[in-house]
Amino acid sequence: MQIGLIGGIGPAATDYYYRSLIAKFASNNVPLEMTIVHADSPTLLSNLEKCDIDAQLKIYNRLTDRLASAGAECVVVTSIAGHFCIDAFKESSRLEVLDLLIEVNEAISNQKLKRVGILGTRTVMETRFYSGISTAEVIAPKGSALDDVHSAYVSMAAAGQATSEQRAVLIQLATGS
């Protein structure tokens, strides 16, 4: 099966998916067939902020058409923020869409976790992962901490790397220290 990734909307996430898929397929001694297309992070963040599902769907469907033309049989959005319109994308996509929200919920359930913390964009945190976690309580930062995480996360995601200050914000909230 050839996998299509819609990447770029969080270069670090795209890199993580790519490296993880390489390792998983190699460990199973199966050749990896994959195509990656690039979506623009600032455009996604603008569409997310405006909740402009139609604009984001046009981008996803255009990129999915390119993936399908390259032989992809399924598509994955490599950004959690990019899942703000995942249900509509699953309905409109010409390829099967693998939904990260479902996969994460299942992993949390399989690990029998009761509480999980979430760090990301404001929308992801405020909606507690788009209400996609039904098997555990989702804890998100509040007040100025939410603003600090959003700012650090968006800057880090767009750059594809974290500064020491951004890393400190995320570590402080993740560890409670």
SS3 sequence of the chain: CEEEEEECCCHHHHHHHHHHHHHHHHHCCCCCEEEEEECCHHHHHHHHHHCCHHHHHHHHHHHHHHHHHCCCCEEEECCCHHHHHHHHHHHHCCCEEECHHHHHHHHHHHCCCCEEECCCCHHHHHCCCCCCCCCCEEECCCHHHHHHHHHHHHHHHHHCCCCHHHHHHHHHHHHCC
List, for the chain, all residue ranges whose pLDDT scores fall below the cut of 70: 177
| Same domain as 168, residue 87 | no
pLDDT of amino acid 10: 77
pLDDT of amino acid 177: 67
Domains identified in the chain, total number: 2
| Same domain as 72, residue 7 | yes
79 within some domain: yes
| Same domain as 13, residue 78 | yes
Angle subtended by helix axes 164-175 and 143-159, to nearest 10: 140
pTM: 0.87
End position of a domain, from candidates 65, 98, 131: 98
103 within some domain: no
The domain of 124 spans 110-175
| Same domain as 118, residue 85 | no
| Same domain as 73, residue 150 | no
